[in-house]
Structures are given as structure tokens and as C-alpha cells.
Amino acid sequence: MDLKWTSKSLRNFESEISEIFNSGKIKAPVHLSDGNENELINIFKDISSSDWVLCSWRSHYQALLKGVPAEQVKSEIISGRSISLCFPEYRFFSSAIVGGHVSISIGIALHEKKKNTKNHVWCFLGDMTSETGVAQTSIRYAETHDLPITFVIEDNGLSVLTETRSVWASSTLRYEEIKSSKVVSFKYKSKYPHAGAGVRVQF
Amino acid sequence: MGHYQIELTKAMELLASNDKVIFIGQSVEVAGTLMRTTLENINPKKLIEMPVDEDFQMGVANGFALAGYIPISVFPRWNFLLLATNQIVNHLDKLKEISRLGVPPKVIIRTSIGSVKPLHPGPQHTGDFTDAFKLMCKNINIVRLDSHEQIVPQYRLALERDDGVCTLLVEWGDKYAE
């Protein structure tokens, strides 16, 4: 991980992006993070530069913590690529499709196991994604094949504005009901909306 | 064994000669499909039998490719491959644009228009979506193998090309006997 990042400096990065977005200089959606800084910093203490990190459309913090220079991340965001940030030289990929990166993570983990390396795959996903078929399949496959992968479920209880537990008519999600050695999780609340930075732009 | 099946078998052996190539799918390691008959000479270490979950399988193939392998992702019929459309259209076809890799990942997809002889399995097993996928994918070369003479050259091109274009090759199940 990039040890220089603190909760405050991460929040400051997103704050700057939110100001740039609200000024209309970013002609593409952004998905900002907030409220999960401490949890991510702790998780990234275990992530090495040769490990792989795969994310969803909300990945600014993870890219910074993986060691991608802030100016490079910022440049990509301003260029309109926040929604699917990829920095292959840092082994960092993301997908803007729900669950799209999850099975891809399994392929990379299988590769690392076949090559008998010590590299690990870290797959970040939200609570709604964690309920999808591909997430359930991937977690089970990772367990039964003992793949070098950890799924990090970041649970803000929402998918856009849909309440995950409400639509599943359940007070608990599968990751809470069936514990897995391949899954870590935390709950958080963000001050930012699903997309954008407060100035409503419907897309 | 007909010319079509012989050429497919040769093509699979050509692919397998590359150290980076692996084959993944249902009935690649164990018997069960016509396609499997063309993989019988392949080193079992290169064959990864997958659970039946087509989009999961295709995502795994894309992951292998990002990590440096050349996966051959095998779907016995077009109708089954439809279930992997997300990973093919939204991911593999877009990786060149979003991944910014100097050398874009390479995946070769193999599927078939299901045979209608000696048994006709009906409309859910005999579809041909070649033209539809050509419209949806701009970074995947999609070719229907109408003649046995196309098979080895097309697989060689798929394996050797370095322009970031992936490949989807479509067989005719009914031509295996020709």
C-alpha cells in the first residue's frame, strides 16, 4: 500500500474531485467515497505492490492506496474514466458493470495459484453486488479451490437509492449468514450520493 | 472421423503447443460433447473443467488473460454462450479501451451451431447468433467456420495476432461427420 495516505488526505482528494465535478469540468459520472477511509487503510496494510486489486465503479481510494500517483488518478478522473479506472502497471482493474470484476478476479487468482506465486487478489464489492449470483458463485469457487483471494464487501446498505436489505426482504445478507474465510466486510455511511457530488446530474 | 473434425483436432493441438494456452469450459477435461473429441490429445494439465455458469466461466477466462495466459473458452453451443454475453460484450470487447494495457489481453472463444442430425434438439440448442455478435463487438473477430479449410488458418491467426483483437470461432456441429 501507499503508506502516505491518511483518512484526512483521502477525504481531501475526494473533496477536490467533488469541487471539480460540480464546476462542470468532468463530463462523465464520478462515484465518490466517504466514510470508509479507516477500514480501507487497514485493509491495504496487507496488500503488496505485486498483489492485484479489482474494484467496481467507485475506486478512487483503492487506486490511491494501491500506490497509483494521485496526479495520475486525478488525470484519469478528469478525462472521464472514473467509472472504470484501470492501471495495469499497478495491477489495478475495475469494471462499471455490477459484478463484472468479480469472476475476472477468480481467473487472476487461478493464474496465481497455478503459477505458485505468493501474490494475492483483492476483490472489492458492495453489498448489493455481494448478493448476486456471480458473487455467490465466485466466493464458493474461491473457497472450494482455496484460491489466493479476499473479497472485501463494503456495505453501505444501498445500491444507488435502493435499500439492499429491503429488496431482499431480509435483515441480513448472505455474507452475514454464511461466514467465509475468503470474505472480509465492514459497514459505513457516505456523505456523497451514488453518483456525482451533490449537484444533481441525471444520466 | 471427417475432415472438419480432423482439422479442429489439428487446430487444438496447434493452440496447445503455446505455453500460455489453457482450455476452460464444460466438457473440456471430461467427455460429453462433440468438441471434447477434438481435445483428447491435449495435455490434461491444460484443461480446466468449469462449473456450468457461462458468464462466470467467461469472466474467469478474462481474468486469466489479464494475468498473461491465452485462454480458449469453450462453449458447446451458441445458445449456451448467450449466457456469457456480459463478459464478452461488456468486458472482453471493451478491455482494449478501458484497461490501457500495452499488450491487450487475448482470449479465443470457441462455440458451435448445434447439430440437428441424427437428433434435432430444438430451437434452444441450434441457434446461430454470429451476425448479432458481429454487430455488438468491435474488438472481437467473429468467424463462422463454414469450411474445414478455414479452421487451422483461423486458429493460427487468432493465436498469433498481436493487434489486441480477440477471436470467436463458430463451428457447425453437423459438419463433424463430413
Residue A42 grid cell: 487497514
Q: What is the pLDDT of residue A201?
A: 65
- Min Cα separation A106/chain B (Å): 6
Q: What is the pLDDT of residue A203?
A: 65
All residues of chain A having their beta carbon less than 8 Å from the beta carbon of residue B90 are 95, 97, 100
Cis peptide before B118 (omega within 30 of 0): yes
Does the beta-carbon distance from A109 to B63 stay under 8 Å? Answer: yes
Does the beta-carbon distance from A110 to B58 stay under 8 Å? Answer: no
- Min Cα separation A145/chain B (Å): 12
As a whole number, the mean pLDDT across chain B is 95
CA torsion, ordered A114, A137, A33, A19, to nearest 10 deg: 90
Does the beta-carbon distance from A100 to B58 stay under 8 Å? Answer: no
Burial class (CB in 10 A: 0-12, 13-18, 19+), A165: middle
B12 touches chain A (CB under 8 A): no
Mutate to test the interface with B, among A72, A110, A149 (most CBs of B within 10 A): A110
CB B25 within 8 A of CB B109: no
Global confidence as pTM = 0.94
Cα distance between residue A57 and residue B124, in whole Å: 35
Does the beta-carbon distance from B51 to A141 stay under 8 Å? Answer: yes
Mutate to test the interface with B, among A73, A104, A144 (most CBs of B within 10 A): A104
Does the beta-carbon distance from B59 to A100 stay under 8 Å? Answer: yes
Which has the closest alpha carbon to B81: B140, B17, B8, B160? B140
Cα distance between residue B75 and residue B70, in whole Å: 16
Partners of B47 in beta bridges:
B23
Helices (H), B36-147: 54-67, 78-81, 85, 93-99, 130-136
Q: Is the ipTM of this complex over 0.90?
A: yes
DSSP conformational letter for B88: I
Q: How many residues belong to chain A?
A: 203
CB A63 within 8 A of CB A92: yes
Which amino acid would we find at residue B158? A
Q: What is the pLDDT of residue A195?
A: 84
Backbone angles phi, psi at B128, to 5 degrees: -130, 110
Mean pLDDT for B144-157 is: 98
Cα distance between residue A112 and residue A115, in whole Å: 5
All residues of chain B having their beta carbon less than 8 Å from the beta carbon of residue A138 are 56
SS3 per residue for B92-109: HHHHHHHHCCCCCCCCEE
Which amino acid would we find at residue B120? H
Residues B30-44 have pLDDT tens digits of 998 989 999 999 999
- Min Cα separation A15/chain B (Å): 25
Q: What is the pLDDT of residue A3?
A: 75
Number of A/B CB contacts below 8 angstroms equals 83
Q: What is the pLDDT of residue A202?
A: 65
Q: What is the pLDDT of residue A192?
A: 87
- Residue in A104, A133, A137 nearest the CB of B62: A104
CB A145 within 8 A of CB B50: no
Among chain B residues, the shortest Cα distance to A140 is held by B51
pLDDT values of chain A reduced to their tens digit, one per residue, 203 residues: 767 999 999 999 999 999 999 999 999 999 999 999 999 999 999 999 999 999 999 999 999 999 999 999 999 999 999 999 999 999 999 999 999 999 999 999 999 999 999 999 999 999 999 999 999 999 999 999 999 999 999 999 989 889 999 999 999 999 999 999 999 999 999 988 888 877 666 66
Cα distance between residue A79 and residue A77, in whole Å: 5
Q: What is the pLDDT of residue A197?
A: 77
> Which residues fall within 8 angstroms of residue A2, CB to CB, at 6 or more apart?
A44, A64, A65, A66, A67
